[in-house]
Amino acid sequence: MNIPELQAFLAVAETGSFSRAAERLFLTQPAVSKRIAGLESELGTPLFDRIGRRVRFTEAGHALLERAHALLRELEDIRRSITNLSGEVAGPLALATSHHIGLHRLPPALKRFHGTYPRIHLDLRFMDSEKACAAVSRGDLEFAIVTLPPSLQAPLTTEKLWDDPLNLVVSPEHPLARLTTIAPSMLLDYPAILPGPGTFTRELILNAFGALRDRIRIGMATNYLEVLKMLASIGLGWTALPRTMIDDSLRVLQIRKVVIERRLGIVTHAAHTLSNAAQAMIRVVRETQ
C-alpha cells in the first residue's frame, strides 16, 4: 500500500468519479484506475462498485475511507514538522476565508504577506465559514479565517481577531424606517432576508430574537452579505449586516433588546502542526488587524 494509491482512492471517494479524480490529481483516468486496481489487489477486495459512470463504495471502501484520511493527515503532519526544522518559510499554503472577510478584512494582510514571503505559494479558497471549519477539521486545510462557530467542537481551536457587530437594516422607503424605536415583534410583520440555513451567522441572528425566532418569516436566503445588502436596499425585506457595510442605501433599525455580534478569527486543528508558512501568515494577520 503506497501513498499515491491512497491519494487516488480518496480523490475518487470525494469526487465520486474516476475522471474528476484524475483532474484533481493532474493524472490521466487510466493512471487513476491503475492505482485503484493496485490498492484493491493488495487488499484483496474491491473498494468501489462501478455502475455505468457512477461510483459507489463497497463495504471495504467504507471501512478504508476514514483510516486513509487519518493516515494521510498524519503523514502530512510529519512532513510539516520535519520541514519546519529548517526554518524555511516557503512552499504551498492552503487556507480558507469567507467572501466577506476576504473582501473587507484581509487585503492589507495579504498584501504585506505577499511582499514579505514571495516564496510561499498561497492557495486562498473562498468558502462558507461552516465548510471551511469542516475542511480544517478533516485536515484538508491548515487553517481558516472565518466567522467563528457559536460553540466550539473538538478538534478545532479558535482565536478571535475581530468583533463584528451586526445591525438590523431596511431600505429607506421601508415602513419600519420611519419609526424611531421598534419592538422585536414588529419585525414579524415583514419578510426577512437572511443567510442560508445552518450558517453560523443565521443562527446568531435568529437566536437574538429569543422565543420569537421561529415566527420570523424568511422570504429569501443567500450566504453573500453583499447580496443581502442589495436585496434589503431595494425594499425586499429586513436583514442584519455588519456595521462596516452599512451606508446611505440602508436605514438602521433601533430594536430594543436585540444585540447581534459575530466573532471573526482563526480556526486551526488542535492536533496538527502548522507549517512555517501558516505560522507566518497568522503572524502577519495578527499584526495588521
Q: Do 180 and 255 sit in the same domain of this protein?
A: yes
Distance CA 236, CA 220 (A): 9
What DSSP string runs through 241-287?
EEGGG--TT-EE--BTT--EEEEEEEEEETTSPPPHHHHHHHHHHHH
DSSP element (H, E) containing 117: none
| Domain co-membership, 279 together with 156 | yes
pTM assigned to the model:
0.75
Can you give the CATH number for the domain in which 237 is found? 3.40.190.290
Question: Do both 21 and 46 map to the same domain?
Answer: yes
Partners of 54 in beta bridges: 51
End-of-domain residue from the set 54, 83, 112: 83
Give CA angle at 246 (244, 252), nearest 5°: 125
Within this chain, do residues 172 and 257 fall inside the same structural domain, yes or no? yes
CATH number, domain of 115, equals 3.40.190.10
35: CATH: 1.10.10.10
What string of pLDDT tens digits covers the 289 residues of the chain? 788 999 899 899 888 889 989 998 889 999 999 999 999 999 999 999 887 777 889 999 989 988 888 888 778 777 777 776 767 777 889 999 999 999 999 999 999 999 999 989 899 999 999 999 999 998 889 999 999 998 888 889 999 999 999 999 999 999 999 998 899 999 999 999 999 999 999 999 999 999 999 999 999 999 999 999 999 999 999 999 999 999 999 999 989 889 999 999 999 999 888 888 999 999 999 999 7
Host domain of residue 67: 3-83
Main-chain dihedrals φ then ψ at residue 129, nearest 5 degrees: -60, -40
234 and 192 housed in the same domain: yes
Tell me which residue of 235, 185, 183, 255 sits closest to 215, measured CA to CA: 185
- In terms of domains, do 270 and 255 share one? no
**Same domain flag for 106 and 140:** yes
* pLDDT tens for each residue of 172-199: 999 999 998 899 999 999 999 999 999 9
| Same domain? 182 vs 258 | yes
My answer on whether 276 and 146 are in the same domain is yes
Are residue 102 and residue 35 in the same domain, yes or no? no
In this predicted model, what pLDDT tens digit does every residue of 21-34 receive, in sequence order? Answer: 999 888 999 999 99
Give the strand pairing for 91-97 and 192-194. Answer: unpaired
Q: Give the number of domains in the chain.
A: 3
- Does 58 share its domain with 124? no
- Is the N-terminal amide bond of 165 cis, ω within 30° of 0? no
Phi, psi of 57 (to 5 degrees): -65, 145
Residue 266 dihedral angles phi and psi, to the nearest 5°: -100, 135
DSSP string, 143-192: EEEEEPPSS--TTEEEEEEEEEEEEEEE-TTSGGGG-SSB-GGGGGGS-E
Are 200 and 283 contained in the same domain? no
